[in-house]
Amino acid sequence: MDNKIDELTAKIKKLEDELITEFKKKSEKFYFKIENEKVKFEERVIKEGKSRITSSIKYLSSFPVTVILTIPFIWAMIIPVILADIMVTVFQAICFPIYKIPKVKRKDYVIIDRYNLFYLDRVEKINCLYCEYFNGVTAYVREIAARTEQFWCPIKHSKPLKDRHNRYDNFFDYGDYLTYKDELKKRRSDFKDLEETKPL
């Protein structure tokens, strides 16, 4: 059973690597390349993209009034996200060295680049800035929580999860108390795979 799980995990990893390769190929289709961690589009593409920008008023007027009225609720959520960003950064700075867990690199998760796209109007840029920060922080918090969970309670759930974090495969099977008691110390410090992990 464990061999089958290991085999499936290896296949998933291989598919993830293939996906990264395909993303790189697709970037060529949209006429940009990355140099010194900066995206560079061809000039003609920038010129054409800017000519297609819709005005902010036209963009906003394309939504029903009820959608526009939800905007204050969306922006109110930025406060807890900023607090979470600060708190988990402080948490891992203090606790991870004590637990001997590799720190999560925030820049691998909070990537702010879409707001700068030349074919977006001002409102779209602000929306993109909000979403890429919000979702980036959420992913960053999840990774810190996943590594913390592996240290303190690396046990799988009794039911399959719809979406698992990337440390979950290292956890003990639900109910496997013998392996849990024998290997807990080893498992909670097993982060060797992170040395080879590379962001997209």
pLDDT in tens, 107-127: 999 999 887 788 888 888 899
With a cut of 70, say whether residue 185 has pLDDT above it. yes
Task: Name the DSSP class of 191.
Answer: -
Specify which residues 32 forms β-bridges with.
41
Model pLDDT for residues 4-18, shown as the tens digit of each residue = 777 777 777 777 777
Look at residue 36 in the predicted model and tell me its pLDDT.
Answer: 65
Cα separation values, 49 from 78, 89, 130, 198, Å:
30, 38, 22, 32
Task: Name the DSSP class of 159.
Answer: S
Q: What is the mean pLDDT of residues 58-75?
A: 91
Backbone angles phi, psi at 108, to 5 degrees: -80, -15
pLDDT range class, residue 57, cuts 50, 70, 90: confident
What is the domain partition of the chain in residue ranges? 31-195
pLDDT range class, residue 85, cuts 50, 70, 90: very high
User: Which residues 6+ apart lie within 8 Å of 143 measured at CB?
Assistant: 104, 109, 165, 166
Specify the higher pLDDT residue, 33 or 65. 65
pTM, to two decimals? 0.76
Q: What is the mean pLDDT of residues 138-145?
A: 97
